[in-house]
A = this chain, B = another copy of it.
Amino acid sequence: MAAHVDALLVSSLANIRYITGFSGSSALALISARDTLLITDFRYATQVREEVGDFARVAIESQSLWTGLWQLLPELAGVKVVAFESGQLLHRDFERLLNAGGRWQWRPTSEMVESLRERKDPDEVACILEAAEVARRALERTIPQIGEGMSELEIAGVLEHSLRAEGSEGFPFETIVASGPRAALPHARAAGRQVGAGDFLLIDYGAIVDGYCSDVTRTFVVGRASDEQREVYEIVRGANALASANVRAGMTGRDAAALARQYSEQRGQGEGFGHSLGHGIGLEVHEAPRLSKTAEAALPEQAVVTIEPGIYRAGWGGVRIEDDVFLDPSGPRILTSFPRELMEIA
């Protein structure tokens, strides 16, 4: 525990899962040198015992998690100063700490558990690798079933069905299927638009295995690719390959992002390159570290990060190619293996 703090109140569900193993959607944890307390509600009474075992003292609250906290905190002898997660606690709940929790002193902290989560141990890397493999197999199943005339929603449905069939526990984010000019919208959700010949078809999706996420993007052309489509595609592919091969632990997130940006700019395509290069993945699909022009921190060893350069032109379309890369001390290891060559689909 940090100096001058007797305990840490954990309100982030991903942090609670990381520490205790509990995967439910409603919980608070309190960690002191002596005790780990976990408070959840009726819906998880059976599940929490299966997942947590003897690791934590578990309380099931029928009213509210906070009621449980105010009942249990006084039982922890010697706990006077408690840290809380400033980036994971709503202002409304902060006011609870000051009011109902006025007997204790509360100290905001930031990223305490998140910084531990940046470095993945071998079991965690194995889960992310398996989530990447599930994503690859699902896309392989999907490609022969999709093509011209289908709507983006239908394509999303085929892909999500394939992800489930390959064992994904869920979807780490809303599947993006964006075709034609909609491929220029980096965060388009799937919609009713029918895919036509000559369209870009951008698919950004992921799988979940034992709570760990993969996050993959591939961009296809429906029918025959035009010269302009090929040109843009190959620049993105080159930027992806260069950044994936050269990203290193110890490099700042800004320098990592510059790898791909410089490659594109040298080829006259800096303009359409608006978002960051990538982000950490793990129990959450967006977590530390960040790879962007404002990220001054060094990338830690054993992080898993996305490398996802893209070029977008409003009204015309866009290309993004995204892989998941483990920053092994010996060098980057790409966990996602679906081919990156331009693929024309029927």
Which residue numbers of A lie inside 8 Å of B, CB to CB? 23-25, 42-47, 62-63, 84, 86-92, 94-95, 108, 110, 153-154, 156-158, 160-165, 167-171, 174-175, 184-192, 274-275, 294, 314
Contact = CB atoms under 8 A, between A and B. Distances in A.
A3 to B, nearest CB: 21
Please list the 5 inter-chain residue pairs (A to B) with the smallest Cβ-Cβ separation, ordered nearest first. A157-B164, A161-B161, A42-B274, A43-B186, A157-B161
A42 B275 contact: yes
A169 to B, nearest CB: 6
Given A169-B190, A192-B167, A43 B86 contact: no
Given A42-B274, A47-B185, A192-B167, A90 B92 contact: no
Contacts of A190: 164, 169-170
B168 A62 contact: no
Contacts of A24: 187
B167 A156 contact: no
A89 B87 CA distance: 10
User: How often does this chain occur in the complex, in copies?
Assistant: 2
B46 A184 contact: yes
B165 A157 contact: yes
A67 to B, nearest CB: 10
23 contacts: A24-B187, A42-B274, A43-B185, A43-B186, A62-B274, A86-B92, A86-B95, A87-B91, A90-B91, A91-B91, A91-B108, A153-B164, A153-B168, A157-B161, A157-B162, A157-B164, A158-B161, A158-B164, A160-B160, A160-B161, A161-B161, A169-B190, A170-B174
A315 to B, nearest CB: 8
Contacts of A62: 274
A157 to B, nearest CB: 3
Contacts of A187: 24-25, 43-44, 47
A163 B153 CA distance: 9
A195 to B, nearest CB: 14
A161 B163 CA distance: 11
Contacts of A88: 90
Nearest to A84: B91
Given A157-B160, A158-B164, 11 more contacts: A23-B189, A43-B185, A43-B275, A63-B294, A86-B92, A87-B91, A91-B94, A95-B108, A153-B165, A154-B164, A158-B161
A187 B187 CA distance: 29
Contacts of A45: 274, 314
A108 B95 CA distance: 10
A89 to B, nearest CB: 5
Contacts of A46: 184-185, 314
Contacts of A157: 160-165
Contacts of A275: 42-43
Contact of A156 (B91, B154, B156, B164): B164
Given A154-B165, A161-B160, A165-B157, A43 B274 contact: yes
Contacts of A185: 43-44, 46-47
